[in-house]
Amino acid sequence: MPLYEYRCMDCDLRFELLKRSSAADEVECVRCGSARVQRLFSRFAARSSGGDGSASLGGGCSGCSASSCASCRRP
Ligand SMILES: [Zn+2]
């Protein structure tokens, strides 16, 4: 189940709940019980893919782990 983040519009409390996506809007505030609750973006949806993929394979020396090696280069 995804984790949703909500904010109560009455008491301004922010809280998180695990909800089925079909029931994601059926939420009451955990503190005051108000039904005026706004759903925020989940942290899973905000996470971006990609980034610093490593491109270190295939470079440099096959005899040691250095990326550019001049001491153990093989003939
Ligand atoms: Zn509330």
Q: How many residues can be counted in the chain?
A: 75
CA of 53 to the centre of ligand 1 (A): 42
CA of 36 to the centre of ligand 1 (A): 8
CA of 47 to the centre of ligand 1 (A): 27
| Residues spanned by the domain of 21 | 3-44
Which class for 4: exposed (0-12), middle (13-18), buried (19 or more C-beta within 10 A)?
buried
Counted domains in the chain: 1
Domain assignment present for 35: yes
What CATH number did the domain enclosing 13 receive?
Answer: 2.20.28
Domain assignment present for 19: yes
At 55 the pLDDT is 47
Domain assignment present for 12: yes
Overall pTM > 0.85: no
Q: What is the mean pLDDT of each run of 10 residues along the chain (75 residues)?
A: 92 94 91 96 53 50 66 62
Query: Do 32 and 3 touch, CB atoms closer than 8 A?
Result: no
